Amino acid sequence: MNNDHKPQTPGPAKSIIARRAGFVGLGLMGAHMAANLLKAGWSVTAWNRSSAAAEDFMRLGGSRALNVAALRDEPVIIFMLPDLSFIEDAASGLLAEWRMTPPRPGTLVAVMSSVSPVAVQAFGRAVAEASGGNAVVLDAPVSGGTEGAQRGTLAIMAGGPEDHFGRLLPVLEAMGTTVRRLGELGAGSLAKACNQLIVGSTTAALAEAAELAERSGMDVGALYEVLSGGLAASRVLAFVGPRLAAKDYAPTGPAKFMRKDLSFVLESAAVVGAAVPMASAGAELYGKLTDQGLGDRDLAVVRQAIANLSDTKVTAASMTVLVQETPQ
């Protein structure tokens, strides 16, 4: 009998992740998400471009990294930046560090921003190459706005290998109440793009109805109230409706990101040959909103964009009538 046999230890993908995390991006959403990790008992070291947010985080009990590369030994690193280009730029020093000395096997990189489902797969390959295969990217974008981020009630849509998702799950559950794996890397971002298609289209439809109703002499608040009792009721109406009715465009999330998110729908649809007429119309509308200089306001500002388009149409119609009535 061989008495030298030793019990096998679980591989990195099956091991339980240490309760430590790095967090990159303490913006409107990220600051609350990182704070909820602290509340759940995680040790969190964060990096943020501006020092004020990092100092606020330290007052909550978190630690501050001088740069993203300083997070190289964290078992999980979360990115919550505006787009993948920002993430790639922020992660460049980290990947350079990993090329020289690979991280521990099973290191997790969670992209929680809204990014391209196609591009995040390329980012996953770049991270795997730089880390010698020791780091794995999962995409896990969120929905629920700043209120959901603050309360820890976000919906989180994840993509990536199932075993690694299982290890990341405790991290995600500290920030959200509805957490689902939708498939492999990129599936989470595609789910978020679908979410944004619905939210963006519904908000635009509500804004369009508001402008039509008000210009016809109807009270928008009363309209929304009766709509909420019928088939048109939705969480979008309940959440955005009051701001649309009051023309309250103080940002809870910049409207310009909707244009970006809908471009991901168009990109993904082109890959699989799906027709997306609503996404096409929405991308055009939110593009005009951005062109009007309204992109930094709340998503509800799509009502103002529609009002501006309406005024342009009225002006054009008036000019046509004036030209027709002018004596030749």
Which residues participate in catalysis according to the annotation?
Answer: 192
How far is C-alpha 71 from the chain's CA centre?
A: 22
CA-closest candidate to residue 87, choices 99, 98, 95: 95
CA-closest candidate to residue 84, choices 46, 124, 113: 113
Q: Give the separation between CA 77 and CA 83, rounded to whole angstroms.
A: 16
Q: Give the separation between CA 224 and CA 249, rounded to whole angstroms.
A: 18
Q: Please, are residues 115 and 142 in contact by the beta-carbon 8 Å criterion?
A: no
Helix (H, G, I), strand (E, B) or coil at 276: coil
Q: Is 160 left (phi over 0), alpha (psi -120 to 50) or beta?
A: left
3-state helix, strand, coil in the chain (%, to 5): 55, 15, 30
Q: Give the separation between CA 121 and CA 285, rounded to whole angstroms.
A: 28
- Total Cβ atoms within 10 A of residue 142: 26
Q: Give the separation between CA 28 and CA 101, rounded to whole angstroms.
A: 34
CA 237, 259, 176, 139 dihedral sign is: positive
Q: Give the separation between CA 204 and CA 195, rounded to whole angstroms.
A: 14
